[in-house]
A and B are shown apart, each in its own frame.
Chain A
Amino acid sequence: MIFFGYHIPIEVIYVLAIIFSILTICSVIFQILYYKKETTLLKELITRIHSWWKITIGIAIIITAPPIIGTILLAFISFVALREMFSIGRIRSADRVALFVGYFAVPVQYYLAYNNFYEVFLYFIPLIMFISIPVILVLTGKTKMIGRSMSIIPAMLMLTVYMLSYIALLFNIESTNFSAGPGGLIIFLIMLTSFNDVFQFTWGKLLGRHKILPNVSPNKTWEGFVGGIFSTAGLAYLIKFLTPLEGYQALIIGFIIGVIGFLGDSLISAIKRDLNIKDTDDLIPGHGGAMDRLDSIILTAPVFYHLLTYFIEH
């Protein structure tokens, strides 16, 4: 379909239409129930849905607008997430210069992703930043607790910038034998990752008995985990028209995203538990901070990219 002289694949429009209809139905139902009886639970659900509207509109812009706008938006999201992680992390006053330099990794990394400088993209943060940050810390000359800062600052860059920038790298995938284009791939990844969270939560609430990681997140259960990954694989099969994947490949990707999404969620939960905080921030009403929403996708994005390119090439 052509909008303002700009081509948007019909598959992407279908999926967005479905998601926006679900949101509308939920909003209407909650509002009616709230109108009948005002409860705190409903109020909380309405705040959450409001935030979902904003998140979904953001995603819709990223996948339908020209790649340059999508890349800038993703870079800004990375920046916000990085700022949040720096703010909750145990930083020292001597780390300030290193943090300042760390922020500049965001535009560089997304510039590399936008221009598809694939090799430099791969080693810029894991190698160059991994060396520069400790060197800057050494040059500032305060050694007390320097080892901790040397490891957490590059780790935060990896989690919030490197991992997320893989989504921007998806804009460069050649769309020869599928019509949905990069927008389709991105919505495929985002849908699988966020619906995996929903599936695991729902299965856990319905059947959950055996705790899977009682010390990290006490609400997660084996039943939720298994039910979640099977449901995610099923969803991946259903919406594989967004990708160039065969049926069995979509199933494999669905399974792996289910597992990895769970691990990403647990990873951020563990960090929060260590720091003794419930949410990373209160940026998104009803959801917590940006990192509370991005926790699964930071791990699924790179895994999805590499599996996808492997399947396309073989």
Chain B
Amino acid sequence: MKHIFLRSFYALLVRPWLKYIIGVNFQNREIFNDLDQYIIVANHNSHFDTVSIMAALPGKKIKSTSAVAAADYFGKTSLASRATNFFFNAILIHRKNNEGGPSTLDILDEQLKKGQSLVLFPEGSRGKPGVIKDFKTGIAVLLKQNPTIPFVPVYLDGFGRVLPKDNKLIIPLVCKVRLGSPIYPKNEDIDAILDEVKKAVLELKNNDERDRNQFEY
């Protein structure tokens, strides 16, 4: 029931709103057609990032894809955590070490073993628009532990202007959700895998000479 609601919610409301009002262009959506499980890796500039990646998914994949969100931000109130849980199937994780509980990587690994796909922002937090920070190693560990699961690089272009950090005003401006082809890491070493992931995202960024994430001043 929830699944049907969520699916139509994305198809009838979120996607048209993003596409026609905000000006989001989803590129290369067909890569999901013959893909069962994946880890989506994207740059992070704005609160719009998660919702636009979820909207880029084909309807039947929404149920099996979870966004990984920071518990210290989205878990502040029970309403916020329930909303993120409902709309993004969110897995709330603690960015700082939570003592006693299972580690973040174990939680995510368990979800992957259950067949759930993930949306990850390896930069950790929303960075400066147009600049990709160093990736945290977690993504590489997960990919190493699950060699049958590919990662899908995504470059989100323009959301840093639509809704920047520390701002509440949403303005329509052209943005691109650039989905890359799924990649199975070739390397064994954690650092090498991390490098591969970052390179894939950067390559998507450099496909277009224009960078819509940046203001001039």
> Interface size for chain B: under 10, 10 to 19, 20 to 34, or 35 or more residues?
10 to 19
Given A83-B23, A87-B174, A283-B25, A144–B169 Cβ distance below 8 Å?
Answer: no
- Does the CB pair B215–A93 fall under 8 Å? yes
Interface centre among A76, A97, A281 (most CB of B within 10 A): A281
Cβ of A94 within 8 Å of any chain B Cβ, yes or no, is: yes
Chain A residue nearest in CB terms to B172: A83
Indicate if the CB atoms of B215 and A91 lie closer than 8 Å.
yes
Q: What's the tally of chain A residues with a CB closer than 8 Å to chain B?
A: 25
User: Is A100 located at the chain interface by the 8 A CB criterion?
Assistant: yes
Q: How far is the CA of A283 from the CA of B216 in the complex (A)?
A: 24
* Interface: A277 (CB within 8 A): yes
Please report the number of residue pairs spanning A and B whose Cβ atoms sit closer than 8 angstroms: 49
Complex Cα spacing A282 to B215, Å: 21
Most buried by A among B158, B164, B167, B172: B172
Contact B173 A92 (CB under 8 A): no
A87 to B25, CA, bound (A): 13
- State whether the Cβ of B80 lies closer than 8 Å to any Cβ in chain A: no
Closest to A281 in B: B174
**Which of A86, A93, A94: most chain B CB closer than 10 A?**
A93
- Nearest CB of A to B155, in Å: 15
CA distance A264 to B212 in the complex (A): 26
Contact A93 B25 (CB under 8 A): no
Report chain B residues within 8 Å CB of A84.
23, 174
- Min CB gap B174→A, angstroms: 4
B210 to chain A, nearest CB (A): 6
Q: A83-B172, A277-B209 are in contact. List 10 more A-B contacts (CB 8 A).
A: A83-B173, A86-B173, A91-B215, A93-B161, A93-B164, A94-B217, A96-B171, A99-B171, A99-B173, A100-B171
A and B contact pairs by CB, cutoff 8 A, 21 listed = A80-B23, A83-B172, A83-B173, A83-B174, A84-B23, A87-B212, A91-B215, A91-B216, A92-B216, A92-B217, A93-B164, A93-B217, A96-B171, A99-B171, A99-B173, A100-B169, A103-B171, A103-B172, A145-B217, A277-B209, A283-B25
